[in-house]
Amino acid sequence: MQRECRVALQVLGGTAEKNFENVLYTGECIGYIQGAIDASQPLAENTTWYKVCVPDSVSTDDLIRRFITFVDANPKYTLASTAIQMMLAERYFCKK
Protein backbone atom coordinates (compact mmCIF):
# COMPACT_ATOMS: atom_id res chain seq x y z
CA MET A 1 0.00 0.00 0.00
CA GLN A 2 3.00 2.29 0.46
CA ARG A 3 3.64 2.28 -3.25
CA GLU A 4 0.04 3.02 -4.13
CA CYS A 5 -0.12 5.88 -1.63
CA ARG A 6 3.16 7.40 -2.80
CA VAL A 7 1.79 7.42 -6.35
CA ALA A 8 -1.50 8.87 -5.08
CA LEU A 9 0.28 11.82 -3.52
CA GLN A 10 2.15 12.44 -6.76
CA VAL A 11 -1.02 12.24 -8.85
CA LEU A 12 -2.94 14.48 -6.45
CA GLY A 13 -0.03 16.91 -6.35
CA GLY A 14 0.24 17.03 -10.13
CA THR A 15 3.75 15.57 -10.30
CA ALA A 16 2.75 12.20 -11.79
CA GLU A 17 0.94 11.42 -14.98
CA LYS A 18 -2.75 10.60 -14.64
CA ASN A 19 -2.44 7.40 -16.64
CA PHE A 20 -4.55 4.30 -16.07
CA GLU A 21 -2.16 2.61 -13.62
CA ASN A 22 -1.50 5.71 -11.55
CA VAL A 23 -5.19 6.52 -11.29
CA LEU A 24 -5.89 2.95 -10.15
CA TYR A 25 -3.18 3.23 -7.49
CA THR A 26 -4.62 6.56 -6.37
CA GLY A 27 -8.12 5.13 -6.06
CA GLU A 28 -6.84 2.09 -4.20
CA CYS A 29 -4.92 4.23 -1.70
CA ILE A 30 -7.73 6.70 -1.09
CA GLY A 31 -10.25 3.88 -0.71
CA TYR A 32 -8.00 1.99 1.67
CA ILE A 33 -7.19 4.99 3.86
CA GLN A 34 -10.77 6.23 3.95
CA GLY A 35 -12.05 2.71 4.62
CA ALA A 36 -9.66 2.32 7.55
CA ILE A 37 -10.92 5.60 9.02
CA ASP A 38 -14.52 4.56 8.53
CA ALA A 39 -13.88 1.18 10.16
CA SER A 40 -12.04 2.70 13.12
CA GLN A 41 -15.04 4.78 14.19
CA PRO A 42 -17.44 1.96 15.14
CA LEU A 43 -14.56 0.00 16.62
CA ALA A 44 -13.67 2.96 18.86
CA GLU A 45 -17.33 3.41 19.82
CA ASN A 46 -17.88 -0.24 20.72
CA THR A 47 -14.71 -1.25 22.52
CA THR A 48 -12.88 -0.10 25.60
CA TRP A 49 -9.42 -0.93 24.25
CA TYR A 50 -9.37 0.96 20.95
CA LYS A 51 -9.96 4.69 21.08
CA VAL A 52 -9.26 6.69 17.95
CA CYS A 53 -10.72 10.12 17.31
CA VAL A 54 -9.82 11.47 13.89
CA PRO A 55 -11.10 15.06 13.59
CA ASP A 56 -13.36 15.74 10.62
CA SER A 57 -10.98 18.53 9.62
CA VAL A 58 -8.19 16.04 8.78
CA SER A 59 -8.02 15.56 5.01
CA THR A 60 -7.49 12.27 3.24
CA ASP A 61 -4.33 13.79 1.73
CA ASP A 62 -3.00 14.45 5.24
CA LEU A 63 -3.87 10.92 6.36
CA ILE A 64 -2.03 9.48 3.35
CA ARG A 65 1.05 11.55 4.20
CA ARG A 66 0.92 10.47 7.84
CA PHE A 67 0.52 6.83 6.81
CA ILE A 68 3.60 6.98 4.59
CA THR A 69 5.59 8.77 7.29
CA PHE A 70 4.53 6.16 9.86
CA VAL A 71 5.42 3.21 7.63
CA ASP A 72 8.80 4.74 6.76
CA ALA A 73 9.55 5.19 10.47
CA ASN A 74 8.16 1.76 11.48
CA PRO A 75 9.23 -0.84 8.89
CA LYS A 76 8.38 -3.64 11.33
CA TYR A 77 4.71 -3.16 10.39
CA THR A 78 4.66 -4.92 7.05
CA LEU A 79 0.89 -5.30 6.75
CA ALA A 80 -0.89 -2.15 5.63
CA SER A 81 -3.89 -2.98 7.81
CA THR A 82 -1.74 -3.13 10.94
CA ALA A 83 0.28 -0.07 9.98
CA ILE A 84 -2.75 2.16 9.38
CA GLN A 85 -4.43 1.14 12.63
CA MET A 86 -1.21 1.63 14.61
CA MET A 87 -0.72 5.05 13.00
CA LEU A 88 -4.27 6.05 13.86
CA ALA A 89 -3.96 4.82 17.43
CA GLU A 90 -0.67 6.65 17.88
CA ARG A 91 -1.62 9.89 16.18
CA TYR A 92 -5.33 10.21 16.97
CA PHE A 93 -5.75 8.51 20.34
CA CYS A 94 -8.70 9.91 22.26
CA LYS A 95 -9.46 9.66 25.92
CA LYS A 96 -13.16 8.80 25.65
Give the global pTM: 0.87
**Which range, of 6-15, 27-36, 39-48, 84-93, averages the lowest pLDDT?**
39-48
Give the span between the Cα atoms of 47 and 58, in whole angstroms.
23
Q: What pLDDT, in 10s, does the model give residues 36-82?
A: 988 888 888 888 888 888 988 999 999 999 999 999 999 999 999 99
The domain spans of the chain are 2-91
